[in-house]
Structure 1
């Protein structure tokens, strides 16, 4: 008897679905703006049965009318209004039929949509966030913007969030590490994994207080980037063959001409670990866009740099970025010949990048265009057989 709009009369269950959809789309707007929450209105047409439909299905029509009468009786709240209209239907005579329904206000929309408990929790937590500072407008907006994060917290994590925010509001944080945020019962990892939402709420809470500028965040000091190196030539003076260390410490190595003549940058750990002994060479595990750290290594910038990345849009993006710091960096195994030889191992890249490439050679751009035109293909470097790859890598290192 009932169905979606345009396909027969619509029931109270259809209204509940409509209200649930409105709640899903608008609840964050309601958290940010109480006036919007109070005025938002669902206007719902019941699509009353025609005389012909009533004659064809009198039992279904009677059940539909009964369902709406029960709904109207159970929802006498000011925010819910059912408008009835008299119609003559065969077999029924003149009968009052529900014509349209209006549900006004977030509370009733949530209730009809089966979201009362969720809305109550959202309101309670947003109220506690709003109490963090004097600018309630800023804090309501911050609460709404971060709701997808804090709504998933259990009660203990929500209490931790508010406690850390209050501590950060009352204490200087710039230059501290997360470990130095001295909140009893809350560990460093908890803070580090939630620093973004903490900063957003603290910034909003500082608004109107004077002193700290809104948008400054916590200013916590991070651990700094780390890089992993392998010494491929045992004659290079270094006590370890495979080491991971902060970039600022690696930058102090080889301050004279005893440093490596070659730097091999690869993006795959398996490839990195499989690299054989190469005279005068050090290998860097690039880890994607970690190639930016090369700019902080004076000895690396003095070396001949060979980059071997995946044959895909991201590999060329990383190469382009590496050349921002080291324009002399050369690529290897990122060309037509390699792709043509091992194309059978390529797959489609579901998330290609379209960023502009301004530092690639004409041949590299041609290869990138080939990958794109073929459907954003990617050929991962570990799929290229080692007996093919190693001679090409060796030749690249020997090139002038």
Structure 2
């Protein structure tokens, strides 16, 4: 008997020898001349499947059914959403599920509360629980995308003044622009450089008429709300050479801020790739990104993004902008400024 025939015979016997449970049966088919093979396993319903699989599934299904009954108190939840929520709640303890339901009822009863997430008076709910754990689930339970929460902290942008005349006259080097509270800088910049990382912004060399903004590794909605940023003749962005850095750049543009990137192309990556890393500060692998066109990236940036997303890539996943000497970035900023002045003459 050939090896494959021996393996097939063993598998066939294993199927015939398994102990069935009520609601689960094995159907077979006959292969000429008279050879019977397992064809399919038929499971009548969920209860039969749970009994057949065993393990912790009976407990999980029972728990899910109880929670499904609780969710019927929220008419905004359709069947598909209810199933998704039950799956998300599966690892939660009952006490936390109860907290979620009470929080959802509170928001449904107080649509005009005017509170921050940390001020919501639900007994047993920690001040950070809603933001960190339950916000999206509460929204889905009561069918609202906006729970009417007031921002607990006004959005702020940290600035570094780079103009040599301003600094020589004793002007402050660092500042904070708070939205809605007079966000005007000490002077109207001719050059705005948004830096993904704080150290780079704070240590950037002098640039006539320049202001460096700490991007803080986030999207550009707050920075884009500053009118004086849009009015600057030269608007630049510099971030890490990795998938996340390029996606953040694209977010700034999608927020309505027209910025040019510096040192975020394949040539720069190749030059400094020897200082690259594959793991973040938390020792977790650097996220590779999703291959495909990213809305908001320009051709040279998209080329780098494609390289970083290539599964066959053998180079590092990230080159942090701090690994590139500030002198290189400073020279590039001055070159962009000179080019802009030349176009305007």
TM normalised by structure 2 equals 0.70
1:190: which partner in 2? 129
| Aligned CA-pair RMSD | 4.0
Is residue 166 of structure 1 aligned with residue 169 of structure 2?
no
2:324: which partner in 1? 384
2:58: which partner in 1? 116
Alpha-carbon deviations, 1:267-300, whole Å to 9, x = none? Answer: 1233223323444322111134522333311222
| SS in structure 2 at match of 1:153 | coil
Alpha-carbon deviations, 1:79-101, whole Å to 9, x = none? Answer: 356899xxxxxxxxxxxxx9987
Unpaired segments ≥5 residues, structure 2: 1-5, 29-37, 279-286
Q: Is the 8 A contact 1:333 1:393 kept in 2?
A: no
The change in CA–CA distance for 1:369 and 1:216 in structure 2 (over 3 A counts) is closer
Is residue 141 of structure 1 aligned with residue 144 of structure 2?
no
| SS in structure 2 at match of 1:121 | helix
The change in CA–CA distance for 1:155 and 1:5 in structure 2 (over 3 A counts) is farther
Is residue 283 of structure 1 aligned with residue 215 of structure 2?
no
Q: Which moved more, 1:239-248 or 1:281-290?
A: 239-248
Q: Structure 2: how far apart are the matches of 1:352 and 1:387?
A: 32
Q: Structure 2: how far apart are the matches of 1:99 and 1:334?
A: 57
Alpha-carbon deviations, 1:106-162, whole Å to 9, x = none? Answer: 1231122111111111111222222x2457xx4543331112321221122111011
| SS in structure 2 at match of 1:9 | helix
The change in CA–CA distance for 1:242 and 1:340 in structure 2 (over 3 A counts) is same
| SS in structure 2 at match of 1:192 | helix
Unpaired segments ≥5 residues, structure 1: 12-45, 49-63, 85-97, 204-214
The change in CA–CA distance for 1:336 and 1:82 in structure 2 (over 3 A counts) is closer
Q: CA deviation at 1:196?
A: 0.5
Is residue 263 of structure 1 aligned with residue 201 of structure 2?
no
How many correspondences in the alignment? 306
Is residue 341 of structure 1 aligned with residue 271 of structure 2?
yes
Q: Structure 1: how far apart are the matches of 2:276 and 2:75?
A: 57
Q: Structure 2: how far apart are the matches of 1:133 and 1:81?
A: 39
1:34: which partner in 2? none
Name the larger-Rg structure: 1
| SS in structure 2 at match of 1:283 | strand
TM normalised by structure 1 equals 0.62
Q: CA deviation at 1:227?
A: 2.4
The change in CA–CA distance for 1:321 and 1:353 in structure 2 (over 3 A counts) is farther
1:8: which partner in 2? 11
The change in CA–CA distance for 1:367 and 1:248 in structure 2 (over 3 A counts) is same
Q: Structure 1: how far apart are the matches of 2:104 and 2:163?
A: 51
Q: Is the 8 A contact 1:345 1:383 kept in 2?
A: yes
Q: Structure 1: how far apart are the matches of 2:238 and 2:250?
A: 12
Q: CA deviation at 1:308?
A: 1.7
Residues 36-115 of structure 1: matches in 2 within 5 Å?
A: 46=15, 48=16, 64=17, 71=19, 75=21, 77=22, 79-80=23-24, 102-114=42-54, 115=57
**Equivalent of 2:156 in 201, 226, 249:** 226
The change in CA–CA distance for 1:306 and 1:221 in structure 2 (over 3 A counts) is same
Is residue 273 of structure 1 aligned with residue 202 of structure 2?
yes
The change in CA–CA distance for 1:370 and 1:149 in structure 2 (over 3 A counts) is closer
Q: Structure 1: how far apart are the matches of 2:121 and 2:60?
A: 33
| SS in structure 2 at match of 1:306 | strand
2:303: which partner in 1? 369
Q: Is the 8 A contact 1:133 1:139 kept in 2?
A: no
Q: CA deviation at 1:358?
A: 6.3
Q: Is the 8 A contact 1:266 1:285 kept in 2?
A: yes
The change in CA–CA distance for 1:99 and 1:176 in structure 2 (over 3 A counts) is same
| SS in structure 1 at match of 2:160 | strand
**Equivalent of 1:332 in 246, 253, 262:** 262
Q: Structure 1: how far apart are the matches of 2:294 and 2:120?
A: 41
